[in-house]
Structure 1
């Protein structure tokens, strides 16, 4: 099995438990986590570990699951009526449509909280786990993803400058992708300085990911995207700011910068990043 299949298999065999007499909470807890998706962040984390020290791969699976849980909770909350009010996610009804808003809020809360329990229980040294948990919290919380989401929601219908738009998405999207890169480096046993260098490259990778998402919203269809498209009309997106051609040009410039930066690293690390770009971000 390749890395993606190994991770999917791990998710399948580690469904979350919440035994009670609630008629569907446990089912809802796993509903979006088991719905597929790219698992881009998990692939990045596990790919780095595999490239650097494959002996730590099994221990890294739990940390990748924790990261995926945090990402999934953010999508569940992002789809709520108070935010994007989206009916579709990963090709199926969004969680509040499948169940109800209260369940979606609470499932998101549970995924976010339980992620740290799973991270703390990973089969890794305590030193590595503490470093990883700090990285997860810093990039998911008020100085990372949540800050970006707050800016995104507050400035809807208020156009931002390019530097402000980049700040927004370096946090909302870039932070967790960069964290995945850094987490893989930490688990793989790379020095802190090198892990931080990979983090900075990961931020650019996050911007590429977001620009591609904006392009898909402008040009794609709901069936292939697995979520509503054409929904960014009032949002601060790279397509709205730069135009479609400008967004594509900027994305390619960032791809070239990331490709150039990765040329300084081991071939296995370089190939990991370039293959993920080719598979998911070259559309």
Structure 2
């Protein structure tokens, strides 16, 4: 059994290697892709505001697990997910949605550029993500599979459905099964796609892909539970955004249902299930999934 401290160090090393490469790829957001100067500044502002780049890192981790260094085409396709994720954050922060004024320690896009331009910046990033997938130097079959998978994950059967459910459920008490579905769509769908994209580009066998996507779904659920937990236990300085908003807006959260200690217990269980998915897959294939396992070290649970 690999020590968790070693896994955490492995994740840090992986991030140190690939976050700069993702950021370098995202620097292609220039006038060749965006034909309006204010819109370009608004789009670049949020993309360059920082962030963990967790979703593209997951894709690259699958690629490295099965291959070696990603190609430029694979990096472009991988980074397209970050464009789409950034769009979702811009729209989520809008006055008509969560009305947040701080994101990653900076003023949100609508505070900086106005609600209209922020909406268009999100629209631009959303559509550009698919243009990048179509321009990435990949086999046409992989391009089509990526476009289809991302459309489903980000659309009205995935992330958008989760956002809609989140809005319509305010001041209503959801059952745990309903809350899990909301999170599976709102947050988990793009994390599911991140692993799926790696499977598509690495041409992972179907049986192994099923197990990897099980890991992705458990990781996505753990991510949302952890986010709920941080909203009530971390400070605004630590998160780079306002805290305690979920309770003030009467949103359904795991701490709201189970309390802080109950949420920690549930988080540990879900992370354990994610780890077990990879452990079982490794025993069947004889392959190492340690890099993907290291992503579970992201969840730091304070006792």
Q: Which TM-score band applies after superposition, normalised by the shorter structure?
A: over 0.9
CA contact (8 A) 2:93 2:99 kept: yes
Name the structure 2 match of 1:4.
19
1:110-134 Cα offsets, whole Å, 9 max, x none, are 1111100001111110011111111
| 1:252 is the counterpart of 2:268 | yes
TM-score of the aligned structures, taking structure 1 as reference length = 0.94
| Relative contact order higher in (CA < 8 Å, ≥ 6 apart) | 2
| Structure 1: runs of 5 or more not aligned | none
| 1:238 is the counterpart of 2:239 | no
Q: 1:281 offset after TM fit, Å?
A: 1.6
Match of 1:38 among 52, 69, 77: 52
Give the 3-state SS of the residue equivalent to 1:255 in structure 2.
helix
1:23-80 Cα offsets, whole Å, 9 max, x none, are x221111111111101111100011111211254432211121111111111100001
Q: 1:16 offset after TM fit, Å?
A: 4.0
Q: 1:242 offset after TM fit, Å?
A: 1.1
Alpha-carbon distance in 2 for matches of 1:188, 1:213: 30
Alpha-carbon distance in 2 for matches of 1:2, 1:88: 28
Name the structure 1 match of 2:289.
270
| 1:161 is the counterpart of 2:161 | no
Match of 1:212 among 193, 202, 226: 226
CA contact (8 A) 1:186 1:192 kept: no
| Structure 2: runs of 5 or more not aligned | 1-15
The number of residue pairs the alignment matches comes to 279
Name the structure 1 match of 2:213.
199
Alpha-carbon distance in 1 for matches of 2:293, 2:20: 19
Q: 1:274 offset after TM fit, Å?
A: 2.5
Name the structure 1 match of 2:72.
58
Cα RMSD, aligned residues only: 1.6
| 1:102 is the counterpart of 2:116 | yes
CA contact (8 A) 1:3 1:47 kept: no
Name the structure 1 match of 2:7.
none
Question: What are the within-5 Å matches in structure 2 for residues 93-172 of structure 1?
Answer: 93-172=107-186
Alpha-carbon distance in 2 for matches of 1:48, 1:16: 29
1:219–1:197 Cα change, 3 Å:
same
Give the 3-state SS of the residue equivalent to 1:32 in structure 2.
helix
Alpha-carbon distance in 2 for matches of 1:258, 1:136: 22
